[in-house]
Structure 1
Amino acid sequence: MDIQFTEEQELLRSSVQRLLRDRYDFDARRKIVASEEGHSRERWQAFAELGLLGAPFSEEVGGLGGGPLSTMIIMQEFGRHLVVEPFVETVVVAGGLIEQIGSDAQKQAFIPEIVAGAKLWALAWTEKGSRFDLANVTTTAKRDGDDFVLTGEKTAVLAAPWSDHLIVSARTSGHRHDRGGLSLFVVDRRAANLDLQSFRTIDGRRAAEIGLRGVRGQLLGREGEGVVALEACRDRAIGALCAEAVGAIGELNAATLEYSKTRKQFGATIGSFQVLQHRMVDMFIAHQEALSLMQHLAVSLGGGEASVSRLASGAKSKIGYAGKFVADQAVQLHGGMGMTDELNVGHYFKRISSINIQFGDPAFHLLRYAQLDAAA
């Protein structure tokens, strides 16, 4: 598939490229990651001023109406520059859920703050032993007046240390693994009885272990229908993560090709060795296949196709394996320096490794694809 972008989409892409080229080079990114906070509020505000944080939202809620294609364009460029700011967590995941199932009052209260860059969000859905199962939840929520009181634990919640609000999955009825009875709640990250233990991830970002001991939350969407909402959210998140991975894969290929033209071994550049040329051709093919899948998924998400979940799992698996292959080859062809902190190759390797386990690893989605294909 080869998408022909509209004039507005080309303008968006060139604007993102120019901003990141001027303000988010590799050295700037390393300083951001090494800072105490671990991300840049200044860059986040620049994203807001450029309209990136509102691009995927519909015009009815104050966005630009760009949908999944604008997300794809933005995330592909973010992948090329290893952007650490929580665009997926805040805009695609949390913002998407609010737009999808939130009440009119919640949309009016929360989405403008996201678009303006004033608030950051994170989704707390993973628990110990859940193994990518959206319904595998033991955290409970009991009604108390207009709100609910949440008790339980969430693990590896990405961007939680940066966030102002969390969307938390909890059981209002049913048992662990039941598709019914799971609900979603908006929780203030600084709420009483919420314990957050922050840690750094392998790709330089921040995540947290979260304990809820009677924390008050506001119901998001209809009670007991959280799994369906999370499944649609996962498809959108996969589309964004696949675009980021494709951006990173492209940069790894470019860096490896350039290195092969300058690094000499046995008196000749390593790019002149036929066996290494074959490897780089395989890397190029993997990138092109991933690029086509990414575009197909983005178009399908925008069109609301019934088979989009199957396509999302297929893309997550195929692009995940492609990313691992290219990252492995890039590190090996760069030799020992491939994993040094000073070279960007190792940072792309770590980011691709992290993307591969977000919302399900390639093996999980290969099995899910087969199951959905058999059920079709």
Structure 2
Amino acid sequence: MVRYSDYVPLAVWSDSEPGNPHKAKNTHERRRKIVQALLALSVVGNLYFCWAFFTSWPNPLDNYQTLNRHPIIDSAALSAIAPANPQDNAVVTGLYTDAFATAVATLGHTLNVANSSASRLLLYLPDKISRRALCIATVSGWEPVPVERIAPPHSGVHRHFLDQYSKLHLWTLDTRGFKSVVYVDADTLVRRSFDELFRLPFSFAAVPDVYPGAQGYTTAFNAGVMLLRPDSALFRDMVGKIASAHYPAEQAEQAFLNHYFGAEALRLPYAYNANLAIKRRTPALWAGLQQEMRIVHYTMAKPFLQGDYDEVPMDRLERNAERVARKKAAYKEEIAEWLEQWQETRRTYGAKLAKCNALT
């Protein structure tokens, strides 16, 4: 038998040794299985998402159908409500820039036509509002109430909302004897009296907000129309918390109020704050609201402004409204309604408006 004295057996590779081909193969196999598992999870997740998306019920408001044609308020109950006492109740709006003066005048005219018996107050910032603009705004009966500006407590507030924290002065109106206030933004029109709101026993009420995009119909409310009970102690509490509370800075006082009253606020029907965003998102719902609308809110189109919230001279308002209607044709009926109300305002208070416009 021949023996190989020089024979050296091959070493056995350990999985832990560098360069081991078995280790490389095992690592590759593990990675392949991990990738396959992740792909499988992704497929399952996408299938579940598609199933949930296509089988879930849509939001009832996005799927609006004209099913209920009954009025939102019982007529017998409404007739039993006494007229709003002007000593106790007030409709209030605000003026923080001259550009909204004609809008405030028009709003006041529509409030007069609706025959509300409540007082009318206009909160304004003396340092920002000219004599001319204040005169124009008050021709239709608003009583001017000067207030101090409440500055935003944080940076990041939208440039159009930098003065909106001043709206919190609404809660100080108890010092004037008012027990109940309905606040309406200057970019609104009144179609029907809403004096029934003054009889509600709640401390705070507002209409849920709506967005054309993914947010859609929300539980958060829009601060453009609010019912509230003035309370100076509550005002001081709010002002003391606007800097420490956590909320999105961009939306200013609306975001803060949603956090302050979010769980306690009574949500009112859309008829009390008919936001133009509803028309863009669900035209059928907008059509269904027509018979009940009390207040129309011009959130998506402002026929009295030009450029970046710039003032439009009175003699150019008609042309400007027509321009806005061409640019935002989806709201041409609502813009035409606003223009008609402005024309009525000008016919009714023409002499006063001319004198106001001559002021410097």
TM-score band w.r.t. shorter chain: under 0.3
Using structure 1 for the length normalisation, give the TM-score: 0.25
Using structure 2 for the length normalisation, give the TM-score: 0.26
Rg larger for = 2
More helix by share: 1
Higher relative contact order (CA 8 A, sep 6+): 2
